[in-house]
A and B are shown apart, each in its own frame.
Chain A
Amino acid sequence: MNSINTSYELDHIEMRQVYANTLLHLAQQNPDIIGLEADLMSAITTNKIIKEIPNQLINCGIMEANMIGVAAGLSLTGKIPYLHTFGQFATRRAYDQLFVSCNYAKLNIKILGSDAGVTAEHNGGTHMVFEDLALTRIIPGATVIEVSDASMLRNLLTQVEKIYGFHYMRTIRKNAVKLYNSDETFEIGKGKVLRDGNDITIIATGIMVAEALQASDMLEAKNINAAVIDLFTLKPIDRELIIHYAEKTNHIVTAENHNIIGGLGSAVAEVLSEHRPTKMKRIGINEQFGQVGKTDYLKEVYGLTKEHIYLQCLEQLDINK
């Protein structure tokens, strides 16, 4: 069990600042690290890196396909590219480049896809990515992560420097709810059990982890003991943990700021249907595109709230509301 913050308050630091600060720190220690941007430096605040170490951050212009090829070329020659763009550009727009030049060619490339799901807010449907985890998850050998808070992002960005391979990391850009202490450790491929429980398990990622914890508080008031897991690594997935909690609680609900096809809900269902068939519900985007709106509004629209998780858990347990 992990000790976590239960105030559910936003961290003082934005996720983009965490990315830029961590990348700057790593790049200052290792001249082989090269940051790549496609005209979104100021959106993610990496322009501070260009000021400090101009040779280690390349603004590739608005050409995502070429940027991914450049990353492959840098990796071929021993560099470690950290590439950022909005998630839909990194995946939907340049998918064959991601597939062939990065992964089929087995190169060492770290990608941060920002503005996860509804947090793209007023960029709307064209920029709202509910598919990036699905698209990256089906690539053989890819590691796929959705970070849930600042401590995790900092930790994982640092870890992946030393792990050869393709890492896709999804994040929001602004402030995330603070969940973990700054000295928390994370193991890629291992979920974090944030709360134990016997009646039902809520497995969540990203912004839905804080919602899941609050839903479990609401359930507690009804004497329902819900476990909450932050399954930040979608691939490789933590089979043992999922099966263990399916056996322990017999009911699983997943919650993700992503399409339920191909994302967390699918990934958990794949494990359970093969190893421990368990009745489950998948909360997430279902057959819908994005749209403009504030995050709180969009969470209501798509059912990404603690109330919705709470109600779905009750329904799953066949308990009258």
Chain B
Amino acid sequence: MPSSLEELQHLSDKIRLYTLKELENLGFGHYGGSLSIVETLAVLYGGMMKYDPISPKWEERDYFILSKGHGGPALYATLFIKGFFDETFLYSLNKNGTKLPSHPDRLKTPGVDMTTGSLGQGISVATGVALSHKLSNKPNYTFAIVGDGELNEGQCWEAFQFASHHKLSRLIVFIDDNKKQLDGLTKDIIDPIDFGPKFKAFGFYTLKVNGSSVGEIYHAVEKAKTQSDKPVAIILDTIKGQGVPYLEQLESNHHIRPSEQDHQAITTAIKELELRTGVKA
């Protein structure tokens, strides 16, 4: 348990800082969708999830599956901060021979529970993990983050039907509703209309929170853990590029190869985050 929401906010700032440093070190990458899940990762790795960086395969851990695998850089920053690997390892993102590929790989990176990146697949695997624990009467939670664009994939809805039918109440799915997918706004490509009623209709215990508020996310997970007959959907109202105003306003921010102007803005954001977190440059 975190001692305070301030601590979670601090962790969130650090995850954002190292996500940016990691991507800037490489020079390109999935900025937008990494930044929109930072607060959620802070809540999970800041106390809501059981894990052990010394023993990442610890059987009693909770499982985390980043179904929207392109958010990998944010997960890697989190795993670094929590001691799964060192800073040099973090900056190997996507370098030749790296163990930190764009999309998470369970065979390469300590702390990555499942290989994801082909959208729609991670959430099915998460339901399998949750089912397995339920069959064995084990208390482990399974957390998964799916993207709003990812929910275009029919496989996700197969998984939701399955989770609901099997009453996988220890499966907690976050929907990163950052309103954008690769080619533009979700409402212009495949309009999600409203995720809330959809998840309710699929039999989920459904909550909607401000996905940039560690407090709201924290309380939603606490609430989710009190119920025991349905899987949980926590819809995160987020912004693609969240927490870096310049990137939030950038029209196309799924995968960025920053221009000189972009670099300046990102560098400014990094300096602000360093000041706020006390991390030295």
Please report A residues at the B interface, Cβ cutoff 8 Å.
Answer: 34, 55, 58, 60-61, 63, 65-66, 68-79, 96-97, 100-101, 104-106
When A65-B124, A97-B124 are in contact, do A73 and B107 touch as well, CB less than 8 Å?
no
Contact pick for A97, options B63, B121, B129, B161, CB 8 Å: B121
Contact B120 A77 (CB under 8 A): no
Contact B129 A101 (CB under 8 A): no
Contact A61 B115 (CB under 8 A): no
Q: How large is the interface on B (under 10, 10 to 19, 20 to 34, 35 or more residues)?
A: 20 to 34
> Complex Cα distance A104/B239, Å?
32
Within residues 122 to 175 of chain B, which ones have a CB less than 8 A from any CB in chain A? 122-133, 135-136, 154-155, 158-159, 161-162, 165
Residues of chain B lying within 8 A (CB to CB) of residue A63 = 155, 158, 161-162
Contact B132 A79 (CB under 8 A): yes
Contact B131 A69 (CB under 8 A): no
Please report B residues at the A interface, Cβ cutoff 8 Å.
Answer: 63, 106-107, 113-115, 117-118, 120-133, 135-136, 154-155, 158-159, 161-162, 165
Majority secondary structure of chain A interface residues (helix, strand, loop or mixed): helix
> Complex Cα distance A79/B134, Å?
12
Residues of chain A lying within 8 A (CB to CB) of residue B63 = 76-77
Residue of B nearest to A71 (CB): B128
Contact pick for B158, options A34, A65, A74, CB 8 Å: A65
Q: A73-B124, A100-B117 known; 8 other A-B pairs, CB under 8 Å?
A: A34-B132, A61-B158, A61-B165, A66-B124, A70-B128, A70-B131, A72-B128, A77-B136
When A55-B135, A65-B155 are in contact, do A100 and B128 touch as well, CB less than 8 Å?
no
Residues of chain A lying within 8 A (CB to CB) of residue B117 = 100
> Complex Cα distance A55/B126, Å?
18
Contact pick for A69, options B107, B127, B132, B165, CB 8 Å: B127
> Complex Cα distance A161/B161, Å?
29
Contact B126 A66 (CB under 8 A): no
Contact A76 B125 (CB under 8 A): yes
Contact A66 B155 (CB under 8 A): yes
Residues of chain B lying within 8 A (CB to CB) of residue A75 = 128
> Complex Cα distance A71/B133, Å?
13
Residues of chain A lying within 8 A (CB to CB) of residue B154 = 65
Contact B128 A73 (CB under 8 A): yes
Contact A61 B135 (CB under 8 A): no
Residues of chain B lying within 8 A (CB to CB) of residue A71 = 128
Smallest Cβ distance from B63 to chain A, in angstroms? Answer: 8
Contact B125 A73 (CB under 8 A): yes
When A63-B161, A100-B118, A105-B115 are in contact, do A73 and B126 touch as well, CB less than 8 Å?
yes
